[in-house]
Amino acid sequence: MVRKKVELLAPAGSWEALEAVIEAGADAVYFSEKRFGMRQHGAWLNFGDKEIADVIACAHERGARAYLTLNNLLTGDEIGSLEKDLLALSKNPPDALIVQDLGLLQLLRQLDLGIPLHASTMMNIHHARAAGFLKRHGVSRIITSRDISLDDARELGRISGLEVEYFLHGDMCIAVGSQCLHSGVSTGMSANRGKCLKSCRWAWSLMDREGGKVLASVDEQYLLALKDICLYHQLPQMIAGGIASLKIEGRARPGDYLAPIVGAYREAIDRYYANPAAYATDFGVLRDLRGRTIREIGTSHALSQPGVGAVGLSGKREPRFFSIAIEEKPCAEEYLPATAAAAGWADRPELSVRCGDMRAARAVLAAGADHIYVGGESFQAARRNDWRREEMAGFIRQCRDEGVKVGVVTPRITTDREFFELESLLETLEQARPDSYLVSNIGALEWMNAHTDTPLHGDFSLNVWNARAVELLQQSGVASVTAGLELDLAQAQALASQSPLPVECLVHGALPGMLLEYCPIGVHMSGTTRQDPCPGPCKQRAYALRSRAGQLHWLETDQYCRNHLFMAKDLCMIGHLDRLQHPNIERLRIEGALYETDYLCKLVRLYQQAIGSVYAGGEIQGLQPEVELGAPRPLTVGAYGNTLEGISEPCKELPTDLLIQYG
């Protein structure tokens, strides 16, 4: 069988870079229009809408393919404004469109432009089930999540039959793709919209959060600053393994920086194809690549879990710090101004509560929750995995007898292990007949549709921002959706107004900041990763990362050894529930997995009181101080307060100049 030659894919954030990387030997380039794409940090970056056709023509004239990235999350208004531009592409089409937003994927299928569709790394593809979902929706190539190994990427392509694109060289994010909400929640500058302020590259201290002490020697170091990836030495195994496209990262890099890197990989690829058996790594070139790279280099997740040496602890080779550590927005006492008034609920909304263990679930049932979520990740705050299927089945039956709904949560990341455990769980739970399953990613959605007829609800990790995304999920068997956690209050109201399905909104709880396949606890406390015989330091105490602003971000490890870095302040909307009134907002959720049982029950009673007052047309008075009493962390209005005055104080100390500096 003759294999198609691997593609060398290079970035082009400017005309100068476009011409330089093609001249250096890139087979294809990826580029963005100024409004849409994952690099929005400077006016000089990307191309105007009038330039897109010229960029495509320039690439084609030089024998290269041109891929247009439209891979940020979009509001309903943005999707609508984009339709005309997409139709105009048919006159001089790019060779592919790279997308993240499920709503944009839905629109492109409806427009049927005949342009190949590539799934962005921000679609968070970890498993062939997710790839199969996208294949059914017209996608021909998967750009894998940055945190999966080369072996997993090859297997994903083999099973799905889709082309696989893998990162070859450049800047890498330490958080799981699309699941880093820290910048978006705290500042409104979303990593999912190309405006990330890179809090992963702040200095952090690893803390014993109960004792308040800095642990070991990890005081104000760059604990999450992942080194750049460089897989020059691994080229043969990538090519032999069937990877279709090798991607160089760097749309914000100038042409004179990119061209030598592209040229080095071009020469090595051609030399390998010319005589594979005689190929040997040119270590002189590898040393040159190491010298040209701004940060230190490593292999990221390609060969194994990142461990000791995977991050640049000193921060000395960071080219630019996009922001300094700031204090997250507080929870304002005053109501929103009347101009932000909402439409009103058609019926009293349900209060849903996610619990961290069965003891909490039984307690909130007695406290008056309407809808209880059990299962999913079990955090070390609970010190054990409490999701025993027989107990869960018994609880589901008890709730049905008492007229309370129960939903079962699926993990945010689903690999073979998680699917095996879900299958075992369903063997017992299906007989108990839960009211719903809360699906966290499109792979879990695809799997659940094949294994149950129970209603499926979409969780916040699906990043639903617009009604077209809801439409696609509805056609895929979803019965309701959860609003994305980076939506401000006006955007959440707009989603509810336009959504064809009921919407659930979070109103209280610990907000996820980053989801990590990297374990700072294991690396710095025992020098191990989950692939090693780890002594389990995560089970020996409670941890947090402290920023230079003095903010403690709880760091929790789940049963899969993934790390969850939470925001420093918990969402609290008890004083502003009137602004979430809408006929299509049918559930208000407390994310209570990290709460002690007594405090969680108090929240249930207070929020039911507040919902009742608002639904009856009354005012909410005096409840927030009660919520603050005994709260494990300070409170915030989260992303809801990012754009509207009166709900919170504005963030201070953000840099005004966000241009990246090199050299």
Residues 6 or more apart whose Cβ sits within 8 Å of residue 90: 113, 114, 115
Domains of the chain: total: 2
Residues 6 or more apart whose Cβ sits within 8 Å of residue 86: 107, 108, 111, 113
182 in a structural domain: no
**CA 435/CA 455 separation, integer angstroms:** 7
Residue 445: pLDDT over 70: yes
Residues 265 and 367 in one domain: no
pLDDT band at 620 (very low <50, low <70, confident <90, very high): confident
Residues 17 and 110 in one domain: yes
Of 139-148, 209-218, 392-401, 425-434, the poorest mean pLDDT is in 209-218
Residues 275 and 371 in one domain: no
Residue 383: pLDDT over 60: no
Residues 6 or more apart whose Cβ sits within 8 Å of residue 88: none
66 in a structural domain: yes
Residue 560: pLDDT over 90: yes
Residues 122 and 253 in one domain: yes
CA dihedral 24, 29, 34, 40 (to 10 degrees): -80
Residue 654: pLDDT over 90: no
**CA 296/CA 486 separation, integer angstroms:** 32
Q: Summarize pLDDT for 151-167 with one digit per residue, the tens.
A: 999 999 999 999 999 99
pLDDT at position 322, please?
61
Q: Summarize pLDDT for 110-136 with one digit per residue, the tens.
A: 999 999 999 999 999 999 999 999 999
Share of the chain above pLDDT 70, in %: 91
Any idea what the CATH number is for the domain that residue 409 is in?
Answer: 3.20.20.70
Whole-model pTM? Answer: 0.94
Question: What six digits make up the tokens of 107?
Answer: 């629109």
Last-in-domain residue among 290, 305, 331: 290
Q: Summarize pLDDT for 61-95 with one digit per residue, the tens.
A: 999 999 999 999 999 999 999 999 999 998 899 99
Residue 388: pLDDT over 70: yes
Residue identified by tokens 């349900």 is 350
pLDDT band at 662 (very low <50, low <70, confident <90, very high): very low
Residues 394 and 510 in one domain: yes
450 in a structural domain: yes
**CA 322/CA 41 separation, integer angstroms:** 9
Q: Summarize pLDDT for 212-262 with one digit per residue, the tens.
A: 999 976 767 889 999 999 999 999 999 999 999 999 999 889 999 999 999
Average pLDDT over residues 352-370: 98
> How many Cβ atoms sit within 10 Å of the Cβ of residue 431?
10
Residues 595 and 490 in one domain: yes
Average pLDDT over residues 364-393: 88
pLDDT band at 647 (very low <50, low <70, confident <90, very high): very low
Alpha-carbon dihedral sign for residues 230, 234, 235, 241: negative
Residues 247 and 347 in one domain: no
Plot region of 530 (φ>0 → left; ψ -120 to 50 → alpha; else → beta): alpha
Residues 426 and 516 in one domain: yes
Residues 373 and 243 in one domain: no
353 in a structural domain: yes
Residue 465: pLDDT over 90: yes
pLDDT band at 645 (very low <50, low <70, confident <90, very high): very low
223 in a structural domain: no
Residue 655: pLDDT over 60: no
> How many Cβ atoms sit within 10 Å of the Cβ of residue 317?
14
Residues 280 and 382 in one domain: no
**CA 293/CA 261 separation, integer angstroms:** 9
Q: Summarize pLDDT for 41-66 with one digit per residue, the tens.
A: 666 688 988 999 999 999 999 999 99
Mean pLDDT taken over the chain: 91
**What is the full DSSP assignment across 256-318?**
HHHHHHHHHHHHHHHHHHH-GGG----HHHHHHHHHH-SS-EE-TTSSS---TTSB-TT-TT-
| DSSP letter, residue 57 | H
Question: What six digits make up the tokens of 405?
Answer: 């709904």
563 in a structural domain: yes
Which helix (H) or strand (E) segment holds residue 520: the answer is helix 520-525
pLDDT at position 380, please?
66
Q: Which residues of 126-141 are buried (b: 16+ CB within 10 A; e: fewer)?
A: bbbbbbbbbbebebeb
487 in a structural domain: yes
Residues 21 and 165 in one domain: yes
**CA 116/CA 121 separation, integer angstroms:** 16
pLDDT band at 656 (very low <50, low <70, confident <90, very high): very low
pLDDT at position 338, please?
41
Residues 479 and 560 in one domain: yes
> How many Cβ atoms sit within 10 Å of the Cβ of residue 662?
11
> How many Cβ atoms sit within 10 Å of the Cβ of residue 452?
18
Domain that residue 78 falls in = 7-170+231-290
514 in a structural domain: yes
| Chain Cα centroid distance, residue 400 | 34
pLDDT band at 3 (very low <50, low <70, confident <90, very high): confident
More confident residue, 262 or 650: 262
**CA 380/CA 541 separation, integer angstroms:** 9
Return the ∠ at Cα 121 (arms to 118 and 124), rounded to 5°: 115
